[in-house]
Amino acid sequence: MKELQMGVNDFIVRLIFPPKCIFCSELIDRRSEIEICEKCFSKIPFVTDQKVFIKKFMRGVEPDSMWLDNITCICEYKGIIKEAIIKYKYFGKYSYHRAFAFLMAKKLEVIKNSSEHDIIISVPLHKKREKVRGYNQSFLISSKLSKITGIPERSLVLERMRYTNTQSLLHRDERYLNVKDAFKVNNEKEVENKVVLLIDDVVTMGYTLNECSKALKKAGAAKVHALVIAAAVSNIEESS
Ligand SMILES: [Zn+2]
């Protein structure tokens, strides 16, 4: 893995546009690798026990229909992270992808065997939704993460075939049917025997990640490890 440091281009951009904290808009040091001030960083609800989280949000998936090999969540979907993700997804704050990618890169540094990932793929949006939003929030993060880590980005090989409703508006059973068989790999050679790092912003029930993983595995991927910014565990408890 490359060192977590910004390139010359990033530094020049920062000379012209001084970086601000994505949470509180305070100006921060130009040399800071992450656009989050120290005060806000200390308020991020980082997940400390991954195992508890995985158990909670994957409990709706039967063990024999589990296609994911592993999942790592960086934060809980609450507080300042929840506010930032909502602004990022729905209020055009696409520049936040840099801070999210750095949070992921830092997490990868501490995950064992993270250097074993061959390619990075983000959860695809349907073209129609991407057109409305103007960008795919997970793709921006995975592209930046690829630049930071040097792991090749291959998101375009995974496609969302059906236009699906927003998962957060649906009940548990509807969520599963909503994304079932919704994804397809369009170039199997790109994923054959590869260890895939699958990127998404928020995980709720894990169905979307699991269905993406299913498509990747059926196309020959050796392993799929999901990495997400935030896990909405409280949503699961509310909807279960
Ligand atoms: Zn701040």
Ligand 1 centroid to residue 5 C-alpha, Å: 20
Q: What is the pLDDT of residue 53?
A: 66
Do you know the residue count of the chain?
A: 240
Q: What is the pTM of this model?
A: 0.86
Tell me the per-residue pLDDT of 148-160, one tens digit each, with 9 for 90 and over. Answer: 999 999 999 999 9
| Average pLDDT along the chain | 84
Neighbours of 164 (CB within 10 A): 18
Q: Which residue has the higher pLDDT, 74 or 110?
A: 74
Q: Which residue has the higher pLDDT, 172 or 191?
A: 191
Ligand 1 centroid to residue 193 C-alpha, Å: 42
Is the pLDDT at 41 greater than 70, yes or no? yes
Ligand 1 centroid to residue 28 C-alpha, Å: 8
Query: For residues 43 and 79, is the Cβ–Cβ distance under 8 A?
Result: yes
Radius of gyration of the chain (CA): 17
Q: What is the pLDDT of residue 238?
A: 38
Q: What is the pLDDT of residue 240?
A: 32
Tell me the per-residue pLDDT of 175-228, one tens digit each, with 9 for 90 and over. Answer: 777 788 889 999 999 999 999 999 999 988 788 999 999 999 999 999 999 999
Long-range contacts formed by 31-40: CB under 8 A, 24+ apart: 33/4, 33/5, 33/6, 33/102, 34/99, 34/102, 34/103, 34/106, 35/96, 35/98, 35/99, 35/102, 36/99, 40/80
Is the pLDDT at 55 greater than 50, yes or no? yes
Q: Which residue has the higher pLDDT, 205 or 3?
A: 205
Q: What is the pLDDT of residue 110?
A: 75
Structure tokens at 54: 């995985």
What letter represents residue 53's amino acid? F
Q: Which residue has the higher pLDDT, 167 or 205?
A: 205
| Distance between CA atoms of residues 124 and 136, nearest Å | 7
**Looking at 1-10, 55-64, 221-230, which range is the least confident one?**
1-10
| Distance between CA atoms of residues 101 and 91, nearest Å | 19
Ligand 1 centroid to residue 87 C-alpha, Å: 15
Q: What is the pLDDT of residue 175?
A: 73
Class of domain 45-239: alpha beta
Is the pLDDT at 2 greater than 60, yes or no? no
Question: Count of alpha carbons within 13 Å of 83, Cβ hemisphere only?
Answer: 9
Q: What is the pLDDT of residue 13?
A: 73
Ligand 1 centroid to residue 41 C-alpha, Å: 7
Question: Count of alpha carbons within 13 Å of 8, Cβ hemisphere only?
Answer: 0
Interval 84-100 mean pLDDT = 91
